[in-house]
Amino acid sequence: MSPRASFVQGDTSVMAAVYGPAEVKVSKEIYDRATLEVLIQPKVGLPSVRERSQEQCVRETCEASLLLSLHPRSSLTLVLQLIHDDGSRLACFLNAACMALMDAGLPMSCLFCGVTCAINADSEIITDPTAESRALMTFAIDSKEQRVMMSYTKGSFSVHELQQCIAVSQKASENIFQFYRDSVRRRYSKNL
Partner 1 sequence: MFSGLREKVGQVLVPGDEFSLEVQETLSLTEPLKPEKVLLGPGLKRRGDRKLLVVKSGVLRHKQPHVFWVENHQRRYVPAKGETIIGIITVKSGDVFKLDFGGSEQASLSYLAFEGATKRNRPNVQVGDLVFAQFIVANQHMEPELVCVDSAGESQWAWSIWSGGAAVQRLSGLVRRLLRPRSDVLSDLQKLFPCELVVGMNGRLWVKASSVQQTLIICNLLQSCETMTTAQRQQLFRRAAQGVL
Q: Give the nearest distance from C-beta 34 to partner 1 in angstroms.
A: 9
Letters for 93-112 (x = contact with partner 1 by CB under 8 A, - = none) are ---------xxxxxxxxxx-
- Interface of this chain with partner 1, residues 139 to 178, rule: CB under 8 A: 142-144
Q: Give the nearest distance from C-beta 184 to partner 1 in angstroms.
A: 5
Helix (H) or strand (E) segment spanning residue 5: strand 4-9
The candidate with the shortest Cα–Cα distance to 141, out of 152, 130, 157, is 152
Q: Give the nearest distance from C-beta 33 to partner 1 in angstroms.
A: 10
Nearer to partner 1, 50 or 187 (CB): 187
Q: Which stretch binds partner 1 (CB under 8 A): 64-72, 82-90, 120-128, 131-139?
A: 64-72
Which residues of 10-158 form beta strands (DSSP E)? 12-22, 35-41, 75-84, 112-119, 125-127, 135-142, 148-155
Binding status of residue 23 toward partner 1 by CB under 8 A: yes
Q: Which stretch binds partner 1 (CB under 8 A): 65-73, 82-90, 127-135, 165-173?
A: 65-73
CA distance 114 to 96: 9
**Looking at residue 155, what DSSP letter applies?**
E
Distances (CA, A) of 53 to 39, 57, 88, 135, 189: 11, 7, 15, 19, 38
Q: Give the nearest distance from C-beta 64 to partner 1 in angstroms.
A: 12
Binding status of residue 73 toward partner 1 by CB under 8 A: yes
